Amino acid sequence: MAEDNLAIIKDEVLQNASLEANKSGNIMPFLKVELQCKIQCRRLERGQDEIDLRMSSPPRKRRAEVTKEESERMEKRKEQNKTAARKFREKEKKEKAQLHQTVKDLQKKNEDLRAKIQQMEAMKAKFHMH
């Protein structure tokens, strides 16, 4: 008799969890209830006492409906973020281009100075020969 009552309660609990899962689109509560029922059944089959399997932490709150103002604020923030990201990428690109140009200029200056050194060493060698 106790097993029949347990089966009825189990079926009812699972059915409620299944309906809730269908409504919310989240299967986790259903899976948790199913596992709890299986654990209880195994304990009872072994002659053990029932245990309280309630979750220690409260269920998570569902996201509240977003108001029109909140939605507009979120969209405005997204747009600001896009703009800021674009400006940052442009600034970074410009800085890289400037650094690249500086490197080119310094390499050219270095080449010119090396050529000048060679020229001066050649002149020095020429004067020492005379």
* pTM tops 0.75: no
Cα separation, 105 vs 46, whole angstroms: 85
Residue 13, class by beta-carbon neighbours within 10 Å (0-12 exposed, 13-18 middle, 19+ buried)? Answer: middle
pLDDT-based confidence at residue 5 (cuts at 50, 70, 90): low
Mean pLDDT to the nearest integer, 107-111? 98
Structure tokens at 78: 């997204």
Most confident option among 10-14, 42-46, 89-93? 89-93
Q: Tell me the CA end-to-end span of the chain in Å, nearest whole number.
A: 126
pLDDT for position 53: 58
Calculate what percentage of the chain has a pLDDT beyond 90. 44
pLDDT above 60 for 6 = no
DSSP per-residue letters across the chain = -HHHHHHHHHHHHHHHHHHHHHHHS--HHHHHHHHHHHHHHHHHHTTPPP-----SSPPPPPPPPPPHHHHHHHHHHHHHHHHHHHHHHHHHHHHHHHHHHHHHHHHHHHHHHHHHHHHHHHHHHHHHH-
Structure tokens at 5: 């009552």
pLDDT for position 128: 84
Cα separation, 9 vs 4, whole angstroms: 9
pLDDT tens digits for range 32-82? 877 887 887 888 888 887 776 555 555 566 667 889 999 999 999 999 999
pLDDT tens digits for range 13-38? 777 777 887 788 888 877 887 788 78
